[in-house]
């Protein structure tokens, strides 16, 4: 069963990567996409599933951390990305393939926040 689950996850990521084939998948593109996401906790959709996501900005805005957990599922996304004073950002996935985190960041869509009660 464990191998079947891993194969199905690999299929989801390859399908997601297929949808971003024509996109810029560089660390700069990942930085740019993450920069537009909300700070703190929010929910997002990716590949038909919902995720609880936390984005944190560190080092005076020169690094970001992302943690995402599939709501009601087993999938996790974790990455750090660093932007030096000059040059391209460096993307550091946490114990997962760089293609997986790139596909998630470029393919996930933050959900609109619920309106505050009046």
The string of pLDDT tens digits covering residues 26-73 is 999 999 999 999 999 999 999 999 999 999 999 988 999 999 999 999
Q: What Å distances lie between residue 87 and 21, 26, 56, CA to CA?
A: 24, 13, 22
What is the 8-class DSSP label of residue 75?
A: -
Q: Which band of pLDDT confidence, cut at 50, 70 and 90, is reported for residue 5?
A: very low
- Report the predicted TM-score, pTM, of the whole model to 2 decimal places: 0.78
CATH architecture of 2-110: 3-Layer(aba) Sandwich (3.40)
Q: Are 28 and 15 in contact (CB under 8 A)?
A: no
Residue (of 81, 77, 63) closest to 108 by Cα position: 77
How far is 94 from 87, CA to CA, in rounded Å? 22
In the chain, where are the structural domains located?
A: 2-110
The arithmetic mean of pLDDT across residues 74-80, rounded, is: 97
């Amino acid at each position: 069963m464990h191998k079947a689950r891993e194969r199905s996850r690999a299929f989801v990521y390859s399908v997601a990567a297929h949808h971003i084939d024509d996109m810029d998948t560089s660390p700069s593109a990942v930085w740019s996409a993450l920069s537009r996401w909300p700070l703190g906790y929010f929910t997002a959709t990716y590949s038909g599933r919902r995720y609880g996501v936390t984005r944190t900005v560190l080092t005076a805005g020169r690094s970001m951390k992302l943690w995402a957990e599939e709501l009601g599922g087993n999938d996790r996304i974790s990455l750090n990305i660093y932007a030096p004073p000059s040059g391209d950002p460096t993307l550091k996935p946490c114990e997962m393939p760089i293609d997986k985190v790139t596909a998630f960041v470029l393919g996930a869509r933050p959900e609109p926040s619920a309106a505050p009660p009046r």
